Amino acid sequence: MIPLKRRKVVPSGAGNTGNTGSEESSPNKFPQVILFLLERKMGASRRAFLSQLGRKKGLQVEEMFSERVTHVICENISGDEVVAWLESGVGGRGRSSAHLLDVSWFTESMRAGRPVEVLDRHRLQQQMREAEVVGFSAPSYACQRRTTLDNHNAILTDALSLLAENAELSGEDGRGVAFRRATAVLKGLPEPVTAVTQLVGLPCLGGHSLRVVKEVLESGASSEVEATKQSERFKALKVLTAIFGVGVKTAERWMREGIHDLQQLRDSGRTLDRSQRAGLQHYDDLNQPVTRPEADAVAAIVEEALAAVLPGATTTLIGGFRRGKLTGHDVDFLLTHPEEGREVGLMTKVVSWLETQGFLLYQKTTRNSYLEAEDGPARPSSNMDRFDRCLSIFKLPVEVKGEGLNPWRAVRVDLVVSPISQFAFALLGWTGSKLFERELRRWAGHEKAMSLSSHALYDKTQSRYLRASSEEEIFAYLGLEYIPPSERNA
């Protein structure tokens, strides 16, 4: 009788290195080297064999491609094909420092029992050499990057911004944010992009965005963007949501009822609320950009109102104009008083003065509802602030030349009142850009275990609020380099 073959017993926990579970894998001896073997043209069985061989030699071999990979091992494939694979989004996004190597480097390393030096003969050849195309690098979060108004890639960012807008108008907020983040990365680049290979490894640039960029670089336009511009639905939503007081859901409901433009809305006899009536009445003015001189003229009126109702109160121009923009779609002001508590009731007094003086065509005021809970902000926290706030349409006097011209124009103005104790947070939150602020909150939550709003910064690990009297202090709490307003145009 032939005895049964005794099974090999593996002690509990042995060989568990997080790779394939092979009992013959050796511990990772070379942590600075992370390999990924590209299956394409190599074949699944050969890839599995080589992966097991590499792990036996103590190398870390990843099953999935990621930004951690330092060496991409390929067989019977050109460098251009590998780059195209990386850009397609199928394999994720490659790091600009990752080596694209022929399998010969791997076999030489196996013979040597260690990763050998990468030589020119190991590198995959590309038609466009790295010396000719310099890749860009950028931090992952927009709040880590300095973005001025000097955009070197407007043709690319305009295309992605339009796709972001279309996604938002379609209720696809996730796709909209993805396009906005890709746009922000391109806005922050120091030079024009000349080849899509320069973008390999940059954060937030997924396969969809890269395909659009590549098409624009090669043909001067994106077919998807051009089709979106010609879409009747997109054009109708653009017109209707440009009415002050009209959101996407309202516009879509009107479209289902056959209303696609302003004249159809006027002829429909539909009952509009107060804000929508004002928005329709002053549509042309409100969709004409506000200039910096006009913003300064509104500021002078607000300062006059403060001087009349509460001497010592201050106003700060916020939003895009604080970031250095020369035009905007509205004008925002942050009001406060250097003595805590004196700002209570200030909004009511300012609005009353403006109405008495004939400066308001429309206004809607909301009261401050912010409460600081001892156990921290409510979860999930709201990104909307709770300050005293007035959404208004100003009747701004203008210099006119010629008969029949209107001596005033309608301008959208937001007034916000903050206690001095929350002023630094309100100033940071209301300066923008919108994506910069979103990324600040994401950084605070994901990287620092904190909760940031326009009211406060709460440290969850210490279970306490962090007080600040300046934006610089808030950046320091977050572990970020201070970025001035003029460089927050993400």
Backbone angles phi, psi at 101, to 5 degrees: -125, 145
Exposure on the CB side of residue 134, measured as CA atoms within 13 A? 4
Q: What is the distance in angstroms between the CA of the first residue and the CA of the last residue of the chain?
A: 79
408-417/388-397 β-pairing: antiparallel
Quickly state the pLDDT bin for 88 (edges 50, 70, 90): low
pLDDT of residue 353: 98
pLDDT of residue 379: 55
Position with higher pLDDT, 437 vs 128 = 437
Asked if residue 325 has pLDDT above 70, the reply is yes
In which band, very low, low, confident or very high, does the pLDDT at 380 lie, cut at 50, 70 and 90? very low
- Catalytic residue (choose from 158, 285, 375, 414): 414
Q: Which residue has the higher pLDDT, 352 or 96?
A: 352
**Among this protein's residues, is 330 annotated catalytic?**
yes
Parallel, antiparallel, or unpaired for β 60-62 and 34-37? parallel
Confirm whether 80 is a catalytic residue: no
Query: pLDDT tens, 424-471?
Result: 999 999 999 999 999 999 999 999 999 999 999 999 999 999 999 999
Average pLDDT value for residue range 363-379: 79
Arithmetic mean of pLDDT, 274-286? 98
Q: Evaluate whether 463 touches 439 at the Cβ level (below 8 Å).
A: no
Average pLDDT over residues 121-135: 67
**Which of these is catalytic: 102, 285, 332, 388?**
332
Show the domains of the chain with their CATH numbers: 34-122 (3.40.50.10190), 142-229 (1.10.150.110), 231-281 (1.10.150.20), 290-369+383-487 (3.30.460.10)
pLDDT exceeds cutoff 90 at 107: yes
Beta strands in 319-437 (DSSP E): 327-328, 331-336, 360-366, 388-397, 408-417
**Catalytic hit among 102, 330, 385, 388:** 330
Q: Catalytic annotation on 267? A: no
Q: Taking all residues of the chain, what is their mean pLDDT, rounded to a whole number?
A: 89
Task: Let me know the angle formed at the C-alpha of 150 by 146 and 153, rounded to the nearest 5 degrees.
Answer: 95
Q: How far apart are CA 30 and CA 65, in angstroms?
A: 18
Kindly report the pTM of this predicted structure.
0.73
Percent of residues, the chain, with pLDDT higher than 70: 88
152 pLDDT exceeds 60?
Answer: yes
Distance separating alpha carbons of residues 225 and 229, to the nearest angstrom: 6
Q: Are 308 and 353 in contact (CB under 8 A)?
A: yes
